[in-house]
Amino acid sequence: MSERWDNELFEQFVRLRDDLRAAKRVKDYQQVQQLGLNILELNKRAGFIKIFTPIFLKHIADASMRLNDSTTAIKYLKAAREAFKERQLSPDDWQKDIAMIDRKLEKLESNQLKCPDCGNEITDTRGGVQPYNDFDDYLGFRCVKCKRTFADEEIEKIAGK
């Protein structure tokens, strides 16, 4: 991680941040997700900027929720929670943000679908941002553990009980 000031990297950050704000305004959540990830990636090379990453982790999580990608939302909410915690100077810092994250996590996790065969969580890859290497390009509901895919009717049944 470079701690030395670099104008070019800083300008890249400002551009990404402004683009993210613009994407949020027009509710382009796929774009918000991608720009958030780009900022996290940039952060690895631009420690000197001291980017406040919890905010961007939250942006990615919120965008994922809008895209009904709860697996990604949970992943980034947990990362945001962790990042807020790391920045706490006193136990009161970021309490409101952390409490809000906990509420969202609780809601998402209670709505999560469980595979009837193994109890593992069923993931929905329809709006995914990550490349899936195992059972390839299936876009829909699947259990990673059993490598089983689910039709929409099955999902309705599982969600209904």
Which residues sit at the interface with Zn ion, rule CB under 5 A?
Answer: 115, 117-118, 120, 143, 145-146
| 6 or 154: CB nearest Zn ion | 154
Give the residue with the Cβ less far from Zn ion, 83 or 143: 143
Give me the least distance between CB of 154 and Zn ion, in Å please. 12
38 vs 120 by CB, closer to Zn ion: 120
Give min distance, CB of 146 to Zn ion, in A.
3
DSSP 121-151: BEEE-TT--SPP-TTTT--SEEETTTTEEE-
Token digits for 50?
């001291």
Q: How far is the CB of 73 from Zn ion (least distance, A)?
A: 21
Nearer to Zn ion, 77 or 113 (CB): 113
Give the residue among 14, 84, 94, 24 at the shortest CA–CA distance from 59: 24
Count of positions (residues) in the chain: 161
Least separation, in Å, of the C-beta of 127 and Zn ion? 21
Nearer to Zn ion, 116 or 128 (CB): 116
Residue nearest to Zn ion (CB): 115
The rounded distance, in Å, linking the Cα atoms of 63 and 57 is 10
Angle ∠(144,146,149) on CA atoms, nearest 5: 70
* Of 40, 9, 99, residue with least CA distance to 32: 40
> Minimum Å distance from CB 116 to Zn ion?
8
**CA 92 from chain center: how many Å?**
25
